[in-house]
Chain A
Amino acid sequence: MAEYILKRCLALIIIVFATAFIIFTILYFTPGDPARALLGASASDAEVAAMNEALGVNRPYLVQLGDFFYDTFIRFDFGESWVYGRPVYEELAARLPRTVLIGLSAMVLNLFFGLLLGIFAGTHGSKWQDSLTMAIAMVFISCPDFWVALMMIVLFSLKLGWLPPYGIGGPEYYIMPIICASLGGIAVNARQTRSSILEVYREDYITTARSKGQRESVVVRRHMLPNALMPIITTIGTGFSRIVAGSAVIETVFSIPGVGTYMLSAINGRDYPAVRASVLFFAVFTCIVMLVVDLMYAFVDPRIKAQYSRVRRAKVQ
């Protein structure tokens, strides 16, 4: 087991390197002039050339790449923002907790309500409760996040005045963003949970559990759910990618200064150091969550756990 985790951590490092390489290369070959974007259309050509010189973007590709890797992975220095002049690291450190808070909370909501609704629908297979739950899920899957976000602002902030419409402050500022970020994922998880529950519903071991005189609620909790969990865990992983991708949208609609909005404005302003750092952050964040998700498989299924330890045993021999 420990060896498996170690292996996965090594893989994570490789993925981070690869992501860094790809994002650097893409930005390098992106047409357009960072200095021109920074200085604006009114700047003279001489000013632009001087700026490019100062930023070091005139140097050969490999030199720049080496510099970038050296700074990022050896000195842990993400450079300074070309637009604001502040160290990218500081900016990210301030914004990161907000994005992580929204992302992880949305994921917890996804899991909790997705399972709850899915089990409800699955155990009421093809009755009206099932159809209703799945119809609602379908609505949430089809609605774009930003539209739901705007509608929520209209309803809860403007009409009812319950929640602040945008910005950051106390916990109440995070309620709507978290709900918006999780709705689609809840719906996807609910559908996946429902179909897995329906799949194990007719399994023999469920009949065995019932034949022991076990209550139906315990049969669902102890026998059906763990067995239905495998495909659900997979969905959780992909659902997290959805949350990460959606964070830029959600943060923009609610004007939350998070990593998502930072990345967006950095891309618009051709603020390359900021773009690279935010993309790397998202890559690491996703990898860590995926690792946790993969470890959940082993936690749920003893067969997978045994596989991991068997690999180790075989190596020892």
Chain B
Amino acid sequence: MDNTFLSVKDLEVIYTSGKKIVRAVNGVSFSLQRGETLALVGETGAGKTSIAKAIMRILPNPPGKIVGGVVELEGENLLEKSEAEMLEIRGERIAMIFQDPMTALNPLMTVGDQIVEGLRLHNDLTFAEAKKRAEEMLEQVGIPAVRFVEYPFEFSGGMRQRVVIAMALACNPDLLLADEPTTALDVTIQAQVLNLIKSLRQKYGTSMILISHDLGVVAQTCDSVAIVYAGQIMEYGTKRHVFKNPCHPYTRGLFNSLPSMNSDSDRLKPIEGTLPDPTNLPDGCPFHPRCPRATQECKIGVIEPVKVEPGHICRCIHAGAEKSVEDSKRIHSGEV
């Protein structure tokens, strides 16, 4: 485990709204190896973005607050760092790409100045040097360097997202948090942007946490996957584990709600119901009100994660038993 680059343990984030407390993240733990890509998958409002913002400690406070847990970057707990130390880490060691490129750039600054801003914060560069570097970054993301002096409103959505990527990668961070980087883009641009992130990441050896609700995107880009539901990780494993052998009923529900090219089924099977009210999470497994397999035991106490195979964890009391049956089947049939 020496190679662990980022480790998050029991992270808890709450938002206070008046007297109500929204429990956005409830004891999330995962770890990331250097150069690895982890996907956080879940519905809107599941707490994915809160996890990413908590790692960078840029949750809007108030109302957001980290109330527990450990975030270790190369063995140092980021949650115990002073704000001044965090300023050094943000942008330099951890960078973030945001969901909506239309709003993620300051409309009143040229894109060049916005890239230069981050560069000069973390490197001892003159403006001319930083400008040269920023122009190189623009070229790398496929934008002609002459557009350095243009404003965000002169760029299309895809181009803006390229600028955001250039900005995030300008300081060559160790960890990239990509918060639904392609959600706001149309599909052709989506593929371009994903490939761009992938190639740049490989070039610089950057680890990445990709936040997405798009399993297709996840399949293309990631090494491991964490399925997030109501601020908890429901299932966590390598891409192969989760895609080939989804154990949690929620994960299966997600896959069932995707259209498949291979099967003849003409109807998708959506997961019934909606996310539970985060101000009033149900007792027991947060998914039990929507779960087709829920039993009485699911409704009480804390559901502990179960290890279904090495490196594959599932937070479901039914996973183990059922798994062993399926496992034995698969072992017998020689699949594993």
Contact = CB atoms under 8 A, between A and B. Distances in A.
A202 interface: yes
Nearest to A209: B106
Interface of B: 53, 56, 58, 60, 62, 86-92, 95-96, 98-100, 103-110, 114, 117-118, 121-122, 151, 153-154, 164, 167
Given A202-B60, A213-B92, A208 B98 contact: yes
A20 to B, nearest CB: 39
Contacts of A209: 106, 117
Most buried by B among A213, A300, A303: A213
A302 interface: yes
Interface in A202-247: 202-205, 207-215, 222-223, 226-227
30 contacts: A202-B60, A204-B98, A204-B100, A204-B103, A205-B103, A205-B105, A205-B107, A207-B58, A208-B105, A208-B114, A210-B58, A210-B90, A211-B58, A211-B95, A211-B96, A212-B90, A212-B91, A212-B118, A213-B88, A213-B91, A213-B92, A213-B118, A214-B87, A214-B117, A214-B118, A227-B106, A227-B107, A302-B151, A303-B151, A306-B153
Given A208-B167, A214-B117, A226-B108, 12 more contacts: A204-B104, A207-B104, A211-B95, A212-B90, A212-B95, A212-B118, A214-B91, A223-B106, A300-B108, A301-B108, A302-B110, A303-B151
Contacts of B121: 212-214
B108 A208 contact: no
Contacts of A207: 53, 58, 60, 98, 104
A208 B108 CA distance: 14
B91 A211 contact: yes
Interface in A161-208: 202-205, 207-208
A170 to B, nearest CB: 42
B216 to A, nearest CB: 25
Residue of A203, A205, A207, A208 with most chain B CB atoms under a 10 A cut-off: A208
A157 B223 CA distance: 77
Contacts of A202: 60
Given A203-B103, A205-B104, A205-B105, A215 B153 contact: no
Contacts of B154: 306
Contacts of B99: 204
Closest 8 CB pairs of A and B: A213-B91, A213-B90, A212-B118, A212-B91, A204-B103, A205-B106, A211-B96, A302-B151
